[in-house]
Amino acid sequence: MPYQSFIPPRRTLMGPGPSDVYPNVLSALSRPTLGHLDPLFIQMMDELKALLQYAFQTSNPMTLAISAPGSAGMEACFVNLVEPGEKVIVCRNGVFGGRMLENVKRLGAEAVVVDSPWGRAVEVDKVAQAIKAHPDAKFLAFVHAETSTGALSDAKALCALAQAAGMLTIVDAVTSLGGVPVKVDEWGIDAIYSGSQKCLSCVPGLSPVSFSQKAVDKIKSRQTPVQSWFLDQSLVMGYWEGSGKRSYHHTAPVNALYALHEALVQLHNEGLEQSWLRHSQMHELLAGGLAKLGLELIVPEGERLPQLNTVRIPDGVDDGAVRARLLNDYNLEIGAGLGDLAGKAWRIGLMGYGARRENVTLCLAALAEVLG
Ligand code: PLP
């Protein structure tokens, strides 16, 4: 029997990502593929860099998209900056802080772990104590928006602590970028990575990153070569640098980069402040509706991510059966709990294009029927 084309159904994606992709972004993907050194493509890349600088609120020249998902952005930050034997304070309040720790260990660096409870923000006081106890630590690493729990940490306060101690910061903004304020220059973030598939509502598979001048200086003064050839930023920069200088490093994912450009045009046209406001308004709407259904959010108010709502599964309710009914009967995807929260929570995403009134209404109505 001949194979058939794969035609997926149209779902509403309200899980932890990927989020619903903007229709314009999907059409951008199907535009003609150009050579990745074509002058017109290079022009588009220059714009893409300016748009990423806007999204990150930075003037860092070393701002680009890694041709791989958020996990590669994470690895790129650690592998370029951290050398074997160096000390890194890693904050862990969920799954992704744990992955940062794994990166540090694999690099042969020394990790000091600051644990905060799952479902809560990183505890700033605990971090301050760890910095005091380890004056030789060179880096502070934390997840701004913990997708596994829905907790938002105080990136500004954490960066201020690190700066005062002369440390560099490595920040995971995979879920935060576009959904809540991320201010790289104002907060003094040194290395930051994100993902295309969350609040940017682009297709998965790209990781925007940005490095401060201090981070670039640290990379340049390395005693040992970067262990990864593909992620070595000094090599990739040759491709992303200003027009005219570009040279081959790897074949850029041309159409995916059109898509990211389009997603960032959407963000720029809407405006960052408006995008943050929309996420927060849709979160309020959802939280109000969930409360009426008797459902409880796990993260305390003030530490909640508007774009990722972690809901406690009521006693006696079959997690898998509910999610399966939402998917099969309503074409609606919500996320399962991850790590410590597996089987205990649902994760409802309101990310980018998904942060719309009609999505909130659909989700609340479907949950009411399924649970009713
Ligand atoms: N960091 C956080 C906070 C995430 O939510 C994710 C993905 O969900 C990642 C890192 C890894 O990104 P990716 O799945 O694109 O590799």
Per-residue pLDDT of the chain (372 residues; tens, 9 = 90+): 899 999 999 999 999 999 999 999 999 999 999 998 899 999 999 999 999 999 999 999 999 999 999 999 999 999 999 999 999 999 999 999 999 999 999 999 999 999 999 999 999 999 999 999 999 999 999 999 999 999 999 999 999 999 999 999 999 999 999 999 999 999 999 999 999 999 999 999 999 999 999 999 999 999 999 999 999 998 887 677 655 567 788 999 999 999 999 999 999 999 999 999 999 999 999 999 999 999 999 999 999 999 999 999 999 999 999 999 999 999 999 999 998 899 999 999 999 999 999 999 999 999 999 998
Helix (H) and strand (E) counts for the chain?
A: 13, 13
Please report, as a single letter, which amino acid is at residue 331: N
| Of the options 3.30.2130.10, 3.40.640.10, 1.10.1670.40, 3.30.565.10, the CATH number for the domain spanning 23-268 | 3.40.640.10
Domain extents in the chain: 12-17+271-371, 23-268
pTM here is 0.98
Return d(Cα 130, Cα 72) in angstroms, integer. Answer: 27
Please enumerate in sequence order all residues whose Cβ is within 8 A of that of 153, keeping only pairs 6 or more positions apart, or say none. 91, 93, 121, 122, 142, 143, 144, 145, 146, 303
Strand partners, 139: 88, 168
Centroid of ligand 1 to alpha carbon of 148 (angstroms): 9
Q: Can you name the CATH fold of 12-17+271-371?
A: Aspartate Aminotransferase, domain 1 (3.90.1150)
Helix 213-220 to helix 233-240 angle, to the nearest 10 degrees?
A: 120
**Binding site for substrate: what residues are annotated?**
347
Q: Round to whole Å and give the CA distance between 21 and 321.
A: 26
Residue from 99, 103, 175 whose mutation best tests the ligand 1 pocket (most atoms within 8 A of CB): 175
Contact 300, 120 (CB under 8 A): yes
| Spatial contact of 358 and 12, defined as CB atoms under 8 Å apart | no
Task: Extract the annotated binding site.
Answer: 347
In this structure, the residues whose C-beta lies within 6 A of any atom of ligand 1 are 16-17, 69-71, 74, 96, 143, 147, 172, 174-175, 195
Distances (CA, A) of 39 to 45, 118, 195, 243: 10, 48, 26, 8
Look up tokens 């694999």; give the residue.
Answer: 106
What phi and psi, each to the nearest 5 degrees, are found at residue 329?
A: -90, -25
Give the SS3 label for residue 130.
Answer: helix
